[in-house]
Amino acid sequence: MKQSTYSPIHIIGGGLAGSEAAWQIAEAGVPVILHEMRGIRGTDAHKGDGLAELVCSNSFRSDDATSNAVGVMHAEMRLAGSLIMACADKHQVPAGGALAVDRDGFSDAVTAAIQNHPLITVVREEIKGLPPEDWDLAIIASGPLTSPDLAEAIRQKTGEDALAFFDAIAPIVHRDSINMDICWYQSRYDKVGPGGTGKDYINCPLDEQQYHAFIDALIAGDAVGFKEWEGTPYFDGCLPIEVMAERGRETLRHGPMKPMGLTNAHNPTVKPYAVVQLRQDNALGTLYNMVGFQTKLRYGAQAEIFRMIPGLENAEFARLGGLHRNTYIHSPTLLDQTLQLKNRPGLRFAGQITGCEGYVESASIGLLAGRFAAAERKGEKISRPPATTALGSLLGHITGGHIVSDDEPGKRSFQPMNINFGLFPELEPGSIVKPDGVKRFRGKDKTITKRQLIAARALSDCRAWLGREAP
């Protein structure tokens, strides 16, 4: 390791987040020791021992920075000197408007860059417990397949209920895509909970014919099977809706779709046969989750079937549902706004274990954790990205941008999320202006304009944060 006046920062995990964190720290002039167990011990999903191995798709998704949230994240990471983005760009393969990579070339490039950096030392070993106390600054970036021993150590430090091993996710819908001419706001029995108003849910009514058509579609829907290493982690309160539908046609109507305690504000004299409720999912009020709708249906089937629900015929999904292995901590209660564990200063978490999803998102949180740790080591003020940026909005989601569920004790209100425009703060009133010569300006055209404005604001604010001039 090259001589440095600073003590090293230790990183556990050489995936996308760990590799990006190591690069950011080293580029800041601080030495890094990167601990990676593959090469000593494998996982059920990885094939080799290269750093930043892509275990699923080879796509980083859309590269459009003008109107796509993940494309904005790409652009911000490039501005911040991301190793992951540099290697992805170098090993890009044709994929239309998406950024896809040659997975072996990409991993080889990341591995070479890390191993050849004079301030980074890669140690192949399994860290079975939390970092020792003499590692005063460390980052855990062990990913969704964290080894059992390390996961147990994290659980003991953070609490029994603070670590999830299986992720039951209900679909999340953009609020502005819900048809409020059909839906209405109301809590069941107009109950006013802590911080509530009695109108805390969006309700979508179904008549008997619509309900049975929906049940038929659920039962016939194409579902994803579990991988052998996942098992079948169904447990009470977390059954996929298609499994509930198979257990009896009325099961959902007496479960998450029960109509009791609700009156259709648009047609008060007609009692709905069933109701789908959506609950506010983020503090901004831009995202709503479909209560009780965790599912193993394939994404294409989900979008088609859920748009059968009255009021959701034009629904745009911030994320679709799922039920799969995913080790992550309850970050909003455990981490501060610099990704540091509140009850152990100096220990940060990064990547998917913090509650984000996707290659780019994982790497971006590694980027931030690395920058924060390097600044702390150098005695500099830690600068967080503005909430209006993609980096800042995802950080905000992880460290506190969720709603606590008071009416369902014990259920996890914080769920892993991809970057999407629903995580960004709203534009200032009056920002969206109808273009000259356009008579009708609404629907999809207005949505695209809104996203373009959010994207432009994000990149401008990111450049300012980084001290970079606009091109």
Q: What is the 3-state secondary structure (H, E, C) of 34-79?
A: EEECCCCCCCCCCCCCCCCCCCCCCEEEECCCCCCHHHHHHHHHHH
> 17 labelled as ligand-binding?
yes
DSSP for 349-418 reads E-GGGGSB-SHHHHHHHHHHHHHHHHHHHTTPPP-PPPTTSHHHHHHHHHHT-B---SSSTT------B-
Residue where the block lists tokens 């098992």: 231
> 75 labelled as ligand-binding?
no
Residue where the block lists tokens 């929906």: 214
> 322 labelled as ligand-binding?
no
Residue 223 CA, chain-centre distance (Å), reads: 22
Angle, alpha carbons 310-447-185 (nearest 5°): 40
Distances (CA, A) of 220 to 22, 209, 227, 234, 298: 47, 17, 21, 20, 12
State the CB neighbour count (10 A cutoff) for residue 420: 22
> Which among 208, 211, 204 has a CA at the least distance from the CA of 184?
204
Burial of 275 (0-12, 13-18, 19+ CB in 10 A): buried
> 18 labelled as ligand-binding?
yes
Q: What is the per-residue burial (b if ≥16 Cβ within 10 Å, else e) of 4-36?
A: eebebbbbbbbbbbbbbbbbbbbbbebbbbbbb
Cα gap 303→169, rounded to integer Å:
15
- Return binding residues for FAD: 13-18
Annotated binding site: 13-18
